Amino acid sequence: MHILQSAAVLGLVCLDAAFAIPAAEPATASEPKLSKRTITVPRVAAGWKQRDILHSKWAAMQKFGMPIPHNLKSAHARTRNTKKKHKKHHGKAAGAGAGDAGAAGGSGVTTVYVTVTADPASATAVAPSVAPSVAPSVAPSVASSAPASASSAAAVSGGTAQTGDVVNDPTQGDTEFLSQITVGGQDMVMDFDTGSSDLWLFSTHLAAADQKGHQVFDPTKSATFKAAGADQQSFSIQFGDGSSASGNSTDTIGTDVVNIGGAISQQQTIELADTVSGTFVSDTASNGLVGLAFSSINTVQPQQAKTFFDTIADDLEQPILGANLKHNAAGSYTFGKVDTTAFTGQLTEVPIDNSQGFWQFPSSTFTVDGGQAQTNSQNSPAIADTGTTLLLADEDVINGYYSQVQGAKLDQQSSLVVFPCASTLPDLSLAVGDSYQAVIPGSQLNFQTVDRAGTTCAGALQSNNGAGIQIYGDIFFKAQYVVFNIRKNTISVAPHS
């Protein structure tokens, strides 16, 4: 959500001698301002120390008078604060920084390819010698990633193992992907975010003006809502762009029945906002967030709450979430099962490091247009985040890619890398773990036009400002089907079908 004010902050000027992105001429007064949809970046959970956001894309948007949808959250602040967060977050010791991405799922853990037939028991692991085939004749799932106890756990809880399947619809030019859930019998259209961990809702606790145009949850109309006790009294999630949501009134925290496409949590902790910032109010398409990162970064106080995914994981057929996002078309999120129609070839299982609360993995190499593999010397870990629109990557990736794009340059007004819309963009492959390269088609890396004439376009790949973490957002998900396993701490990826 941030259009960085200065080229220096964006980290795209003279990054190396081989390729320094030239500055574009300043936009003339007759040219339109950049669209509010230009870039989305992930959110910063409360508990991260907030730092200066004057050099943020969000601040520049304000300067240019652009409205900002809430989904354009702040990767800038998230990335700027990652190093500090690695040192200390929720009581975790130092040593889990960008250089130690493999602590729980990086170096020393072998990536395996899992091929599964209709019978999960027949799954076989294949040695990770080469990247998996993308032959469309293979339609495996990742059923073997579920613990053998998953079904029995559901049986103990008194029910059949669950699955859930909910449509996600892109809005605002693929800026956000929204899905309908039911809370206490009330329908709510929500933004699913694998980069945060709070399930918070627009509610009747909000001022009447802030409720206008939104679906709002009314706890008095739910026969199953129960207010939390003294150990859960409030929540406050502060995003790096200055936007926020919080609740500190009576019945702010409670439990209710939450149904997402048939996956049901009977006593799910929900957070009822009584205060939200203007960016959330102005985005009437969305009515809150479903956080799907790890519960360790949930902001409920004094005792943290579990995410929906964490709560229902042991009652699912498999403790997994599949993210199937599509360009300008409806996709789906699936709980408890793999959508074998959503991808080609084999799913590659990659261990992740959840010590910082995210779906984080190593991503140290890349290739451009199928060429020779290049090393990313910054070697920042990456996170898979559905709450981010674009790809935010290290300097080496930015330079290596845009050096192959004719006419690529830095726009001084927006501080985005832009290029002639007529340019042919090469494919980009990004390492996911040690043995898989996720291919992002060049056609998906031309995000949108930025001038009235329709001749200048902004890229979907932008800099992470050298902040020590790479953020693989919806551009990544639109090219790759991703399965999150919350009990094995893995993601599994394969090209979209």
Q: Which residues are catalytic?
A: 193, 385
Q: Is the dihedral of CA 475, 479, 480, 482 positive or negative?
A: positive
- As to burial, measured by CB atoms within 10 angstroms (0-12 exposed, 13-18 middle, 19+ buried), residue 374 is middle
Nearest-angstrom CA–CA distance, 176 and 1: 12
Other Cβ atoms less than 10 A from the Cβ of 351: the count is: 24
Cα 1 from Cα 69, distance rounded (Å) = 8
H-helix or E-strand containing 58? helix 57-63
Output the six-digit token pair for 45.
């959970």
Q: What is the radius of gyration, based on Cα positions, of the chain?
A: 22
Our CA angle for 467, 382, 348, nearest 5°, is 170
Nearest-angstrom CA–CA distance, 476 and 436? 14
Burial 9-29 (b: 16+ CB within 10 A, else e): bbbbeebeeebebeebeebee
How far lies 417's CA from each of 6, 130, 316, 458, 462, in Å? 12, 33, 43, 6, 7
CA-angle at 126, arms to 386 and 130, nearest 5°: 75
Rounded Cα gap, residues 273 and 256, in angstroms: 15
| Element housing 211 (H / E) | helix 208-211
Nearest alpha carbon to residue 459 among 497, 432, 426, 491: 426
Binning the chain into helix, strand and coil, the percentages to the nearest 5 are 15, 30, 50
User: Which residues touch 253 (CB under 8 Å, ≥6 apart)?
Assistant: 227, 228, 232, 233, 234, 235, 247, 269, 270, 271, 272, 300, 305
Supply 133's token pair: 């085939």
Rounded Cα distance between 308 and 375, Å, is 37
